[in-house]
Chain A
Amino acid sequence: MKRIEKKLKELSQDNQKAFVGYIVAGDPDLETSLELMHLSVDSGVDILEIGVPFTDPIAEGPTIQQAHDRSLENQTNLQKIVDLVGKFREKDSNTPIILMGYINNFLMYKDLINRSHDLGVDGVLVVDIPGELSLEDYGIDNQDLDVISLVSPTTSKDRVKEIVKNSTGFIYYVTLRGVTGSSNLDGNEIEKNIKHIKSISSIPVMAGFGIKNSNDAKLLSSFSDGIVIGSSIVELIYKNSENKDFHEVSDYISNMKDAIR
C-alpha cells in the first residue's frame, strides 16, 4: 500500500483527521528544513507538504512568496530537495511526503521526479497544472507517485468529475477564492462542495488555504478528512529563524492537532 493511503487509512481507523503541514524547503536553510520536518511530525503533522520554491509563485500570498524568495537565495533546487527527503527518510519511513510547486521547476527535473519515489517522495502537487490534465503528458509518469490535485470553489461539477478521475492520494480542496494565507472562509460553501466531491468519489479530501486558528481547523475538519496548514507555519518559522528556537512552531502544530481530534 502506498504511504499516503496507508497513513490516511490508519487515521480513519482511529477516527482521526489528518494534519497536512506545509513548509518551504530551504527556508531558512536546508539543514534547518530537515530539523523542521522532524519537529513537525513529532508535534502532530501526519503528512508533510514540502514547498518547492519558484521565482513566480502566482498562487501564493506574501508570506509564502517571501519564503520562496529566501529559499532561492540559498540556491535551493529540486535536486537538493529530493536529497533532503532522502535524509529525512534515514529517520522516518512512515510519514508521507508531497512535493508542492510549479510546473516549470518540475519540467526541468522530470527524470529526477520520476525516480523520486524510490528516494522517498510519495506524491506531487503541481499548482499550475489544471487537474483534468494528466502529468503524464508532461513527462511525469511514475505510477508509484500520487498526483494530488486542487479543486476550488469555482470548479464546475463537470470538471470535478474529471479531476477526481486523475487524482490519487487525496484531493486538496481550496477553501477560498484567493492566494495562500488569505482569510474569509465560508463554512457553508466549503461543506457543500466537499460533500459533492465525496458523493462522486471515495478519494479522501483535505481542506486548506486560509486556516489560521484552531476554530478554523476544527470547523473544516468536521466535514473533510483533514486540513492543510501552510502560511501560519511558514510565518512562525520565519519569525524564529534568527535564533532557531522553534518551540512556537511546535506548540502551534500541537494546538492545531488537538483542535481536529
Chain B
Amino acid sequence: MKDNLPDKDGFFGEYGGKFVPETLMYALNELEQTYKTLKDNNDFNAEFHKDLAEFVGRPSPLYFAKRLTEHYSTASIWLKREDLNHTGAHKINNTVGQILLAKYMGKKRIIAETGAGQHGVATATVAARLGLDCHIYMGSEDVRRQSLNVYRMKLLGAKVHEVNSGSATLKDALNEALRDWVTNIEDTYYIIGSVTGPHPYPMIVRDFNAVVGYELIEQSQESFGRMPDSIIACVGGGSNAMGIFYPFIKMDNVELIGVEAAGKGIETGEHAAPLNDGTPGVLHGAKSYLMQDESGQVKGTASISAGLDYPGVGPEHSWLKDIKRAKYVAVSDDEVMKAFHMVNKMEGILPALETAHAFAYLDELMPKMNEDQHIVINVSGRGDKDLNSVVEIEGIKL
C-alpha cells in the first residue's frame, strides 16, 4: 500500500494537483520548497512538537467509553480526545505547524477561511502568539450560526471578513481567501484549514494532523495490546480523518471509516456528501469528488454542521475511496442529533456536531462487531460552539 503520495506534481492517483490561476503558482512553489526543506529539519520538528506538547496539550488521551461500550455490548469503544486540545478541536495541530512555516518564510500577514469557526479560532490563536496580522474569511450564514466563535476570533485580534457571495458558506469563504491571496501574494501566508486546496496543502495539512494517528498507534498498544479493528472519523474536507487514518493506511487489517454529512438524506440531494453522491471534478485547486451538476457547476450543500457543509473533499480521501482502502458512509442530521444527545448523556462529553456524525454511525456498525474487537472514534472537536444551533434546531428557549 502506497503511503508516499502525493507524487511530485501533487497527485494521489488521479486526484489532487495544482489547478490555480497563474499568480498563485509562485506562492505554492515557494511553500512546497520551504516545506520540503523543513519537514525533516530537527530544529523545525523540535519546535513543532514542543508547541504541540506545551501549547496544545498533546498527546490527547485515548479514553475508554465504558457506557457506550455497554450500550452496544459488542466491541470496545475508545475515544481519541482531540476535543481536549487547546481551542477545542484537532484544527490547532495544523495551525501550529503552518504558522511555523509562515515564520520561517518571513510572512507578516496570515489569512484563513473557516466554516464552523474552529479553524478560524485556531488560526487567530497562533497568529496572536506571534503577533501577526490575521484575516479570517467566513460565510455570512456561518457567521450567524457560529457567532460565539466569531467573537473568539475578534478577541484574539483577528479581523473577520463576512462573505456574502454564492452560498455564503465555507466554499465561498475559501474563494474569497484565495482572492485575497492572489492580491497579497508576497507578504501573505494562507493557512488552509483542511486537506483540501492545491498541492502542497493536502499533504502539509495531513502531515501536521498525522500526529493524532501516530499517537494512536502507541496508545492502542498500551491500552489493548494491538491495533484497532476500525477507526471512525467524520469527513467534511477531511483533515481530522486524514490525520488519524494516515499512519494506518498501510495496515490493511485496520478498517478506516469516514462519515460524511447526509444532511436531510442522500436521496433528497440536500446533503454534503461528495464521496457518497458526487463525481470527480475540480474545485479550489484540486481534483477530487465534488457535488456538481451535469454542466460542471458546483451544487449547494446542506448540513446541520457548518464544518462539514462543503461540496468537495480532500483528494487523498477520493483516492482512498477509489482504491477501496477506506469506506465512506453518510449519516443524516436527525441521526446526528440523536448521537449528540447519546454522547452527552452516556459519556459526559459534549461533541461538536461535526464529531457527532462519527458517533451516529455506531448504530449501524456496532451490531456487526464482536466483543473481542476494538474501535476508535476520533472526537475531533467539542460542541460548545454548537449550542446556539442545537437550541435553535430543537426550538428551546434558554
| B is bound to A | yes
Shortest C-beta distance, A110 to chain B (Å), equals 11
For the complex, is A77 an interface residue (Cβ under 8 Å from B)? yes
**Residues of B contacting A69 in the complex (Cβ-Cβ under 8 angstroms):** 165-166
**Residues of A contacting B20 in the complex (Cβ-Cβ under 8 angstroms):** 58, 128, 130
Name A76-130 residues within 8 Å CB distance of B: 77-78, 102-109, 127-130
Q: How far is the CA of A168 from the CA of B185 in the complex (A)?
A: 28
Interface of A is mostly: loop
For the complex, is B144 an interface residue (Cβ under 8 Å from A)? no
Which listed residue, A56, A127, A150, touches B298 by the CB 8 Å rule?
A56
**Residues of B contacting A58 in the complex (Cβ-Cβ under 8 angstroms):** 20-21, 175, 178-179, 182, 284
Q: How far is the CA of A107 from the CA of B179 in the complex (A)?
A: 23
Name B165-194 residues within 8 Å CB distance of A: 165-166, 171-172, 175, 178-179, 182-186
Interface of B is mostly: mixed
Residues of B in contact with A, size category: 20 to 34
Shortest C-beta distance, A129 to chain B (Å), equals 7
The A-B contact count (CB < 8 A) is 109
Q: How far is the CA of A156 from the CA of B23 in the complex (A)?
A: 10
Q: How far is the CA of A218 from the CA of B241 in the complex (A)?
A: 54
Task: Please determine whether A177 and B184 come into contact, CB atoms closer than 8 angstroms.
Answer: yes
B66-74, B129-137, B289-297 - interface stretch: B289-297
Task: Please determine whether B283 and A179 come into contact, CB atoms closer than 8 angstroms.
Answer: no
**Residues of A contacting B81 in the complex (Cβ-Cβ under 8 angstroms):** none
Task: Please determine whether B175 and A156 come into contact, CB atoms closer than 8 angstroms.
Answer: no
Name the residue of chain B whose CB is nearest to the CB of A58: B178
Contact with A along B132-149 (1 / 0, CB 8 A): 000000000000000000
Name the residue of chain A whose CB is nearest to the CB of B28: A130
For the complex, is A246 an interface residue (Cβ under 8 Å from B)? no
For the complex, is B80 an interface residue (Cβ under 8 Å from A)? no
Task: Please determine whether B283 and A150 come into contact, CB atoms closer than 8 angstroms.
Answer: no
**Residues of A contacting B290 in the complex (Cβ-Cβ under 8 angstroms):** 104
**Residues of A contacting B175 in the complex (Cβ-Cβ under 8 angstroms):** 56-58
Name the residue of chain B whose CB is nearest to the CB of A163: B22
For the complex, is B282 an interface residue (Cβ under 8 Å from A)? yes
Q: How far is the CA of A58 from the CA of B183 in the complex (A)?
A: 11
Residues of A in contact with B, size category: 35 or more
Which listed residue, A55, A56, A106, A177, touches B183 by the CB 8 Å rule?
A177
For the complex, is A134 an interface residue (Cβ under 8 Å from B)? no
**Residues of B contacting A109 in the complex (Cβ-Cβ under 8 angstroms):** 295-296
Beyond A55-B297, A55-B298, A179-B179, is A129–B19 a contact (Cβ under 8 Å)?
Answer: yes
Beyond A107-B282, A128-B21, A159-B25, is A154–B185 a contact (Cβ under 8 Å)?
Answer: yes
Task: Please determine whether B182 and A179 come into contact, CB atoms closer than 8 angstroms.
Answer: yes
Shortest C-beta distance, B299 to chain A (Å), equals 8
Beyond A56-B171, A108-B294, is A155–B182 a contact (Cβ under 8 Å)?
Answer: no
Give the top 3 A-B pairs by smallest Cβ distance, nearest first: A108-B296, A154-B26, A77-B295
| Chain A to chain B contacts (Cβ below 8 Å), 15 pairs | A54-B297, A58-B179, A61-B179, A69-B165, A104-B281, A128-B19, A128-B20, A149-B22, A150-B21, A154-B22, A154-B186, A177-B183, A177-B184, A178-B183, A179-B183
